[in-house]
Structure 1
Amino acid sequence: MNRVLLYFVYILFSLKGVFAQEKFSSPNGKTTINVSLKDNISFNIISENQIVINNIKTLLNLDNQKLGYKPKLRKKKTQEKREIVKVPFPLKNEKILDYYNEVELTFDDYAIQIRVYDRAVAYRFITSFEKEITITDEELEITFPKETLAYFPKEDSLYSHFERSYLKTKIDTLKNTDFCSMPVLMKKKNGLNILISDADVYDYPMLFFKGTSSNSLQAKFPKVVLATQPHPDATDRIAYITKEANYIAKTNGKRSFPWRFFYFSQKDADLITQDMVYLLSRSQEIKDVSWIQPGKVAWDWYNANNVYDVNFKAGLNTATYKYYIDFASKYDLEYIILDEGWSKSTTNITAFNPEINVKELINYGKKKNVGIVLWCLWEPLNRNMETILKTYHDWGAKGIKVDFMQRADQEMVNFYSNLAKKAAEQQLIIDFHGGFKPAGLRRAYPNVLTYEGVRGAENNKWGNFLTPDHNVTLPFIRMAVGPMDYTPGAMENRQPENHYISFNRPASIGTRAHQVAMYIVYESALQMLCDSPSSYLKDQKTVEFISQIPVTWDETIVLDAKIENKVAIARRKNDTWYLGIMGNQNEQEITIDLSFLSEGSYNAKIFRDGINANTFAEDYEVTTQAVSQDKRLTIQLAKGGGWAAILQPIK
């Protein structure tokens, strides 16, 4: 054997030994993953010398092979990347640091790419086949330390609005019939949080997880839908899936697949400030974003058009919507929504309800500097998307609120991305309602301003799900992956003992100040004012305060936070700070440190629980005081209480 051949054999055996078990570290060296390439691709995560996740095992199953089964490594490429990502319409911070170490392990016709951040790990498959491929399944099993607690957004069906409460339970109590949508939050016995979700999801179904009656979760994916059957009582919007394929996707053979990421931190507050979904998603594809305008919206459907103290009959008519426009103009709200009822029918969405002159309203809104957003169902829009969107643009509408998608399969994911692109071509903003949570689309298409996928205010119309405890859990889980259209601003506020359920005159649980604080705590580039304009005009101090709060932010700081308990956030826009605090159903005293302020004095306008808010939840007080960076504020929250402040520098 000559020296060259001997050296080659030596290298091969060396590589085999090295890559059977390989270690990669984060930029600060405190987080490591140990990758095994023996029988499959698997790795664990260790941070600060403790196990975060015991094992993550993954395979990508094609119809003729399993990618990741007995992998044979061909090449390894590593890089360290550090860059500042500028966000055009920031919901947390104008600039985000993207800093990680990356390894790409290449096998036969596929690779796995892994990024190790100081507090997160993400991976995805990359394939290089010449022809289209069929994905029958993607296997992912995550094993956690024993006694791990799950905040599990349990689903009853893959056909869902994705408006969930969180089942809080030990992971080993979850059976294989229990499954959840993303994101899911795990909390170890020592308090370490592990947030799990997906990002950069294109031409592929969304990720779900199911239990295993052990300390593991396994991935679950919707299959490709082949046939549906309309619901007999709601043929226009509800369609049961009657036939599915035996695969989850047919897709291009040369592509990258969605990221699966695991963010971990001991501090609950870090769940709010991280921005993993945005960082892991593809770069902006719209060159000109100057036409995109985030803003606040006067919304009609929640309050059932119950306007009063007017000289016309309220309802689905032109006079009522002119009243909404007048209200929006008075308080510098950027938009009103024409929700269900503006069109001739829910399936004929380019013809007007005879009682509503949409073109007249759009022109009236232009004179008042108020844009019109049009509601529509996804299926009739999808049937003739380009023509309908061009029609809305030609009318002068500013955007659409698209509803009742209720699915998360490959076709529906493609509908989202196709609509984002086509709407951008017509300079229309989008509110995705009645569907899944964000997964990175808004980075590529910033005209996607918000998503529902949250158990939000409309649930007050038919249930008592929206407890203050639920409201202070959302920022740590659902909001952690992107904007959420919770639709705050309820003016009928009740404590639990006198709460009522009414579809046409809904009431929230918790105080008025709790609702006002949502405008600072909750992230959405389209932020609704859900209640009747008449109710706001009857109590103008509330809407005057809300109207001063922006929807995008230059900087975000979490001052105090505990899941299910409380959240206190400071957000800066230009040189003004906005502070929002929300509490759970218990009375609380919270002290906040204002050392984050710049030097000098600030005038603080404060909206807080009134002295009788524990019994009359609508009781509040608006006060002013001077504050500075050396000040500490002690704040009393009522049951289900809140506190909000606008801090403007005194010049």
Structure 2
Amino acid sequence: MKFRLLAILALAGCGADQTYTLSSPNGEVQLSLQESTNGGVEYSLTHRDNVVLEPSALGLTLSDAEFNTGLSVQSVGNVEYVSEPYTMSHGKQRDITYQANEQVFKVENAQGDVLTLAFRVSDNGLSFQYQIPNAGQNSRHVVEEHTSFDFTPDSKAWLQPVAVAQTGFANTNPSYEEHYQMDIPVGTASPTEAGWVFPSLFYTGHDWVLIGEAGMQGDFHASRLAQNSPEGEYQIGKPMAPEVITGGELMANSDEALTSPWRIIAVGDLATVTESTLGTDLAAPAVGDMPWAKPGLAAWSWALLKDDSVNFDTTMEFIDYAADMGWPYVLIDANWDRNIGWEKLAELVDYAEEKNVGVLVWYNSSGEWNTTEMTPKSQLVDRTKRLEHFARLHEVGVKGVKIDFFPGDGQSVMQYYNDLLSDAADYELLLNYHGSSLPRGLHRTYPNMMTMESVHGFEMITFMQASADKAASHMAMLPFTRNVFDPMDFTPTTFDEIPNIERKTSNGFELALPVLFTSGIQHIAETPAGMAKVPDFVKEYMRDIPTLWDETRLVTGSPGEYAVVARRRGSDWFVAGINGTDAEVTLNMDLTFIASEGQMITDGDDDRSFSRRDVSAAKAFKLTVRPRGGFVINF
């Protein structure tokens, strides 16, 4: 590999006209850093000499120091080459090596306070973080972050609004469950004062850009893009005041040195951005080896059958269903403690164990921050109670816990996520967060973090016809945004009808979703009765869908319109594609990287049937997909 390490410019006489540059290992992505004319520090980004970001602001306001104006570059570190191999326990790529050039800058304000900026430039983007010293060991907290991302005026955006805190069902917002606004001009204001969620997708005319953050250790709040972005300059936004654990802190704070999450900017063509692993590359390494944290598919009664299905007899039926399908898990949802109870839960766990099925159970995360009534509730906030419940679950033999209804993005909530995972690991429990924020790489740090919802998922389709009407286009957005860096518990796939809802997606579309979407535990919405209606070749396909892949490639796609992804397990390739539009689409795909024979399952004569045929990988593999239709190919 050719490394291009640019020389450090001399500090003598530095000023607003002094520019420092750092390039990626292949020399194609370049960061420029300089002091701005208004007394701040700003950065810009190019890719192959095309502008990605125009000069954009950097800086923080702390409780005891201002790093926004009156700044000067105090020192510049040497360029260091970073090469970090690591292995994931689930997701789109098992073995990953992150490579980048890193440089650290120290800036000083007029009072002599110092702030460190660490930059890493990789072949597929830029990452940076703030490192806040605290020599006096005083309590310091972040008041405001001044980071911005300034796009050229003709750029376009694909963004999801943040719901206003304390709105929605039982005051449970925000939970990253809105629809995306697609192909909108940069500068378009969010419809809510809460702003736009990460990750945020843009197109500059030359490059696709995906902005997010990674490396959430619990002492920092989660960020977003602010509501307003005048002339295409997006500011980092902060959580709203109610987004906290009761009595907890909203903003980043510490009595020691404080480090922000990495701000990550993936850059390149659509395939480069979609295949990017920056979200885990910049997350903290695994806290320990957890060989018991095994991913897989799960049966789940509540998806279609709702509250009445949470009972002993239905759960027995779904255990048998999971065993028949070869799926390793079954989930028992809300109110199991009332409807089934601990004694009967133990019977279900014992029965499931005989069938090689692990049992997962639901918990309500909340204390006083929402008005939900589903139980078990208020058992996890206090650590003493939490450890008692985790110990009892472990003793019974439960394999994992789905925890619902978190209050938002405040620092205390981020700490809660980390604390739950740490304590659960001590009892060999897998965790799945619902009604939640974005994972931000937590699944690398804690291998027992299997998935998080953070999406307008399948349950919303079962609640509202409007969501069913938008489902195809919405799901064609997710491989390019929400699901790029982190696992997503969308809970996909139903072939039968949805009670009281007209399903608009075809069976071929639904069949593609468990491969198109990644999740450590992939909860399948279809019931035993619905699965019994499909052909045997569909059931066989559904029996063997991985949740850990060796390689992922975007074959073709357009956000919100269509997506075709190829994923490899060993020597086997799974190709899955969906058409998110209301019109027929003809896809031209280059599959020569596979070079083998395969079998395709797609839609039959109508939306509720299947067809199957043998195919060969080719450079010009052409396929016409019906409106809101889809397909899978197993090579």
Task: State the TM bucket, normalised to the shorter chain.
Answer: 0.7 to 0.9
Distance 1:606 1:332 in 2: 22
Q: Which residue of 1 aligns with 2:110?
A: none
Letter aligned with residue 125 of structure 1? Y
Distance 2:164 2:18 in 1: 39
> Conserved in 1, the CA contact under 8 Å of 2:15 and 2:72?
no
Equivalent position SS for 1:289? coil
> Conserved in 1, the CA contact under 8 Å of 2:221 and 2:251?
yes
Distance 2:75 2:615 in 1: 62
Q: Pick from 276, 301, 306 the counterpart of residue 274 of structure 1.
A: 276
> Conserved in 2, the CA contact under 8 Å of 1:225 and 1:244?
no
Shift of 1:212: 3.4
TM-score, length-scaled by structure 2: 0.87
Distance 1:113 1:559 in 2: 34
Q: Which residue of 2 aligns with 1:184?
A: 200
> Conserved in 1, the CA contact under 8 Å of 2:301 and 2:310?
no
Letter aligned with residue 620 of structure 1? F
TM-score, length-scaled by structure 1: 0.85
Distance change (3 Å), C-alpha of 1:121 and 1:492: same
Q: Pick from 139, 147, 150 the counterpart of residue 140 of structure 1.
A: 147
Unaligned 5+ segments in structure 1 are 1-10, 229-240, 307-313, 345-351, 494-501
1:545 aligned onto 2:532: no
Shift of 1:214: 2.7
> Conserved in 1, the CA contact under 8 Å of 2:41 and 2:72?
no
Unaligned 5+ segments in structure 2 are 1-8, 108-112, 166-172, 367-377
> Conserved in 2, the CA contact under 8 Å of 1:174 and 1:214?
no
5 Å-filtered alignment, 1:250-289, equals 250-265=253-268, 267-286=269-288, 288-289=289-290
5 Å-filtered alignment, 1:21-36, equals 21-36=19-34
Q: Pick from 175, 178, 181 the counterpart of residue 167 of structure 1.
A: 181
Q: Which residue of 2 aligns with 1:199?
A: 214
Distance 1:224 1:41 in 2: 29
* Worse overlay, 359-368 or 572-581: 572-581
Shift of 1:19: 8.6
Q: Which residue of 1 aligns with 2:357?
A: 370
Letter aligned with residue 266 of structure 2? Y
1:114 aligned onto 2:119: yes
5 Å-filtered alignment, 1:549-564, equals 549-564=545-560
Distance change (3 Å), C-alpha of 1:525 and 1:19: farther
Q: Which residue of 2 aligns with 1:620?
A: 610
Equivalent position SS for 1:125? strand
Per-residue Cα deviation, 1:212-236 (whole angstroms, up to 9, x for no partner): 34321122212565988xxxxxxxx
- Measured on the aligned residues, the alpha-carbon RMSD in Å equals 2.5
Distance 2:229 2:618 in 1: 52
1:573 aligned onto 2:573: no
Per-residue Cα deviation, 1:297-337 (whole angstroms, up to 9, x for no partner): 0011111269xxxxxxx743212111100110011011000
Letter aligned with residue 449 of structure 1? M
> Conserved in 1, the CA contact under 8 Å of 2:304 and 2:462?
no
> Conserved in 1, the CA contact under 8 Å of 2:161 and 2:197?
yes
Distance 2:432 2:240 in 1: 26
Letter aligned with residue 164 of structure 1? E
5 Å-filtered alignment, 1:425-436, equals 425-436=426-437
Q: Pick from 593, 596, 602 the counterpart of residue 596 of structure 1.
A: 593
Distance change (3 Å), C-alpha of 1:505 and 1:392: farther
Per-residue Cα deviation, 1:471-493 (whole angstroms, up to 9, x for no partner): 11111011112111111111236
Distance 2:631 2:502 in 1: 19
5 Å-filtered alignment, 1:404-415, equals 404-415=405-416
Shift of 1:92: 1.8
Distance 2:203 2:601 in 1: 34
* Worse overlay, 549-558 or 173-182: 173-182
Letter aligned with residue 544 of structure 1? E
Distance 1:205 1:160 in 2: 14
Equivalent position SS for 1:359? helix
Per-residue Cα deviation, 1:567-596 (whole angstroms, up to 9, x for no partner): 111111122111111112221122333311
Runs of 4+ in 1 over 6 A off after TM superposition: none
Distance 1:224 1:174 in 2: 21
Letter aligned with residue 584 of structure 2? E
5 Å-filtered alignment, 1:199-598, equals 199-202=214-217, 203-210=219-226, 211-222=228-239, 248-265=251-268, 267-286=269-288, 288-304=289-305, 315-344=309-338, 353-354=340-341, 357-379=344-366, 380=378, 381-383=380-382, 384-463=385-464, 464-465=466-467, 466-492=470-496, 504=499, 506-541=501-536, 542-585=538-581, 586-597=583-594
Distance 2:115 2:49 in 1: 32
> Conserved in 2, the CA contact under 8 Å of 1:569 and 1:581?
yes
Distance 2:453 2:151 in 1: 30
Shift of 1:285: 0.6
Letter aligned with residue 365 of structure 2? W
Distance change (3 Å), C-alpha of 1:301 and 1:364: same
Distance 2:244 2:351 in 1: 43
Equivalent position SS for 1:480? helix
Shift of 1:255: 2.9
> Conserved in 2, the CA contact under 8 Å of 1:25 and 1:33?
yes
Letter aligned with residue 629 of structure 2? G
> Conserved in 2, the CA contact under 8 Å of 1:492 and 1:506?
no
> Conserved in 1, the CA contact under 8 Å of 2:473 and 2:561?
yes
Letter aligned with residue 523 of structure 1? T
Q: Percent identity?
A: 21
1:150 aligned onto 2:157: yes
Per-residue Cα deviation, 1:611-636 (whole angstroms, up to 9, x for no partner): 2x3xxx2122133x263x55753222
Equivalent position SS for 2:142? strand
> Conserved in 2, the CA contact under 8 Å of 1:78 and 1:101?
no
